[in-house]
C-alpha cells in the first residue's frame, strides 16, 4: 500500500556540482514514498556515476505534473499499471518502452504479461512492472470473525471497523456484492448504477466505521490499540501487525484480494533516457530488488528477488496467498471518465449523516 509524503528528496554527494536538467549524470524520478531507497541510490551512483533526484508523489499528481509539462520534468515515472492507458490516450505524456534496452529476463513473466495487457497501445508497450501488493482485510481474530469486505458492516462491529474513502473501497464492496466492476468498465450506464448501489451500501454502513483513514499510521495505531478490530488493509501493513501481535491476521476475502502493480514508465520529454534504462536494469537485479522490497514491505517484479527476502516475510506471503495469484483481482486499465463517476459517489458517502 502506498502513501505519499509531501516532500522532495535530492540525494547526491555533497561535493557534486549542481546538475542541469539535461545532465546525463542526473536522473529525475517521480515515485511513491520508500520506492527509491537511499541504499539503492548509493549503489547506483557508485556503479554509474549518475545522481538520482526523487520527487515523492501519487498517481493523480504524477498525471497532473506530466500533463502540465507535456511529459517533461522527469526521466522516469512510477504510476500504477491501471493509470497508464487513459492518461496516455488523453494527454500523450509517456513514450514507448524500447525492449531492446531492457534486460527482460530479470522480470517475472506473469507480472510482465499483466502490464503488457494493460499498458499497451497500438502494439507499443508503455510500462514495465516494478512493485506489487494487494489490499484486502485485517482482523483481530480474538475480537471478530470476517470473511469478506461486507462483513465490516455486521451490526456487532458498529464503530469498530475502518476503510479508506477511496476507489479501492468501492471496488471491494462491489466484488463482495457478487458484481464484477472491472467487467463493466466499457458500459458507463451499468458502471454508474453499480457505483451508486455500492455508495448506498457504504452510507448504510457508516455507523460501523470508526473512521475513514487517510494515512497508514492512523490505521495501524487504531488496530494496535484495539479501537479498530477489522478493516480494509494492504498486505504489508497486516503482516507487520501480525509480527507484533499473532492475533492480528491478513484475510484474503472470499471475493478476492485486489492487487495493484506499480511500474516504470518513461515521460514523453524526459532528458536522460539512457539513465532511466540503466536504473530499470539495475533495480531489477535480485540483490537490489530485495533491498527495495525490504524498504517498501512488498514484493517486486524481479525474478529471483523473493529468494533473498526475510523468511518470515516469505511465510506470511505463502500463508496469505496459498494459491498464488488465483484469488487476486488485478486492476485493469481505467478508461477516461470512470474516476469522475466514483468521485461523485465518494463525495456523497462523505457528506451523508
Ranges for all domains in the chain classified under CATH 3.40.190.10: 8-131+260-323, 133-258+331-351
Q: Is the pLDDT of residue 17 over 60?
A: no
* Confidence at residue 22, expressed as pLDDT on a 0 to 100 scale: 64
| Average confidence (pLDDT) over 123-129 | 98
Q: What is the mean pLDDT of the chain?
A: 93
Ramachandran category for residue 50: left, alpha or beta (phi over 0 → left; psi -120 to 50 → alpha): beta
Model pLDDT for residues 238-262, shown as the tens digit of each residue: 999 999 999 999 999 999 999 999 9
How much is the pTM?
0.86
Model pLDDT for residues 279-325, shown as the tens digit of each residue: 999 999 999 999 999 999 999 999 999 999 989 988 999 999 998 88
Architecture of domain 8-131+260-323: 3-Layer(aba) Sandwich (3.40)
Q: How far is CA 230 from CA 80, 169, 201, 250, in A?
A: 27, 14, 18, 10
More confident residue, 22 or 272: 272
Spatial contact of 34 and 130, defined as CB atoms under 8 Å apart:
no
Model pLDDT for residues 146-164, shown as the tens digit of each residue: 999 999 999 999 999 999 9
- Cell numbers describing residue 87: 492518461
Confidence of residue 353 (pLDDT cuts 50, 70, 90): confident
Q: Say which range, 85-99, 102-116, 312-326, has the weakest mean pLDDT.
A: 312-326
The CATH homologous superfamily to which domain 133-258+331-351 belongs is Periplasmic binding protein-like II (3.40.190.10)
Amino acid at each position: 500500500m502506498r502513501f505519499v509524503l509531501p516532500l522532495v528528496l535530492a540525494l547526491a554527494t555533497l561535493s557534486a556540482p549542481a546538475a542541469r536538467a539535461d545532465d546525463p549524470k542526473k536522473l529525475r524520478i517521480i515515485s511513491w514514498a520508500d520506492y527509491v531507497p537511499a541504499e539503492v541510490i548509493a549503489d547506483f551512483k557508485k556503479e554509474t556515476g549518475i545522481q538520482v533526484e526523487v520527487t515523492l508523489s501519487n498517481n493523480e499528481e504524477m498525471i497532473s505534473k506530466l500533463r502540465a509539462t507535456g511529459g517533461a520534468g522527469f526521466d522516469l515515472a512510477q504510476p500504477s499499471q491501471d493509470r497508464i492507458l487513459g492518461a496516455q490516450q488523453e494527454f500523450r505524456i509517456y513514450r514507448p518502452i524500447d525492449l531492446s534496452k531492457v534486460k527482460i529476463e530479470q522480470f517475472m513473466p506473469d507480472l510482465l504479461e499483466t502490464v503488457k495487457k494493460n499498458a499497451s497501445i497500438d502494439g507499443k508497450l508503455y510500462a514495465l512492472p516494478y512493485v506489487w501488493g494487494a489490499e484486502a482485510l485485517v482482523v483481530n481474530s480474538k475480537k471478530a470473525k470476517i470473511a469478506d469486505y461486507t462483513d465490516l458492516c455486521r451490526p456487532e462491529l458498529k464503530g469498530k471497523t475502518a476503510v479508506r474513502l477511496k476507489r479501492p473501497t468501492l471496488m471491494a464492496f462491489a466484488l463482495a456484492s457478487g458484481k464484477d466492476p472491472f467487467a463493466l468498465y466499457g458500459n458507463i450506464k451499468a458502471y454508474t448504477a453499480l457505483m451508486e448501489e455500492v455508495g448506498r451500501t457504504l452510507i448504510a454502513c457508516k455507523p460501523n466505521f470508526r473512521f475513514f483513514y487517510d494515512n497508514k499510521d492512523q490505521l495501524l495505531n487504531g488496530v494496535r490499540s484495539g479501537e479498530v478490530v477489522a478493516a480494509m488493509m494492504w498486505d504489508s501493513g497486516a503482516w507487520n501487525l501480525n509480527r507484533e501481535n499473532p492475533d492480528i491476521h491478513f484475510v484474503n476475502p472470499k471475493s478476492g484480494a485486489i492487487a495493484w502493480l506499480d511500474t516504470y514508465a518513461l515521460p514523453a520529454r524526459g532528458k536522460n533516457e539512457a539513465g532511466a534504462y540503466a536504473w530499470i536494469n539495475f533495480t531489477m537485479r535480485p540483490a537490489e530488488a530485495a533491498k527495495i522490497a525490504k524498504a517498501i514491505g512488498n514484493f517486486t517484479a524481479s525474478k529471483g528477488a523473493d529468494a533473498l527476502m526475510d523468511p518470515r516475510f516469505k511465510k506470511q506471503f505463502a500463508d496469505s496467498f496459498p494459491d498464488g495469484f488465483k484469488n487476486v483481482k488485478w486492476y485493469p486499465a481505467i478508461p477516461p471518465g470512470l474516476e469522475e463517476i466514483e468521485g461523485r459517489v465518494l463525495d456523497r458517502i462523505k457528506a451523508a449523516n
